[in-house]
Amino acid sequence: MSTTPLEIINKVKQSNLITIDFEKWIRIEQIVNVDLKEFLFNGLIVKEKEFREAIEGLDTSRVEGKICRLYCSIDTIIPKWAWMLVTLKLFETAEFVHVTSESDLIRVELLRKIHTHDWAQYTDGFVILKGCSRLDIPEAVYAEATIYCSLYAKKVMYGEACSNVPIYKRS
């Protein structure tokens, strides 16, 4: 009987699998919420002159290089041009600005990144769209990524390297 310890070989690491982990594509700590209520007259209505002055004087340093979620926490009528003005001001320094609910932010941001991602790097590759995550990655993100992956990859799977579900295989 040999007393030499057996070497543990990580076959997953040695494989040609490429894992796409959407959780790494979005940094929650990089998201800044901006409430449009801050710019409303008496916190209730849009008065154009005062609104424009408030936006012009807005310090955008807190959103610099970050993903910005623009929303309004009160139920009031806000004209479309008001959203547009604030978005442009924030976009001067923010990485991107989304006018969306908190629950939709992850979906919208990941879809934006999917549309700008270099999918050609997966040409003829074996790609796994990682399934387990602390974030609730919406189905739309997986569906959209599958479309882009299938244009380049030889095989697309869902899940983890140790247990995956085949989704697409080029013949």
Task: Quote the percentage of the chain above a pLDDT of 70.
Answer: 93
Asked whether residue 4 carries a pLDDT value surpassing 80, the answer given is no
Please list the alpha-helical segments (H only) found in the chain.
11-14, 48-56, 80-91, 102-116, 139-150
Confidence of residue 23 (pLDDT cuts 50, 70, 90): very high
Q: What is the pLDDT of residue 10?
A: 52
Instruction: Name 89's Cβ contacts closer than 8 Å, sequence gap at least 6.
Output: 55, 56, 58, 60
| Chain centroid to CA 89 | 21
pLDDT averaged over every residue in the chain: 92
Q: Mean pLDDT over residues 124-153, rounded?
A: 95
pTM comes to: 0.78
How many helices (H) does the chain have, and how many strands (E)?
5, 7
Integer Cα distance of 41 and 155 in angstroms? 56
> What per-residue string of b and e applies to 119-153 under the rule 16 or more CB within 10 Å gives b?
beebeebbbbbbbeeeeebbeebbebbbebbbebb
Q: What is the pLDDT of residue 9?
A: 55
* Beta carbons within 10 angstroms of residue 165's beta carbon: 10
Q: What is the pLDDT of residue 16?
A: 85
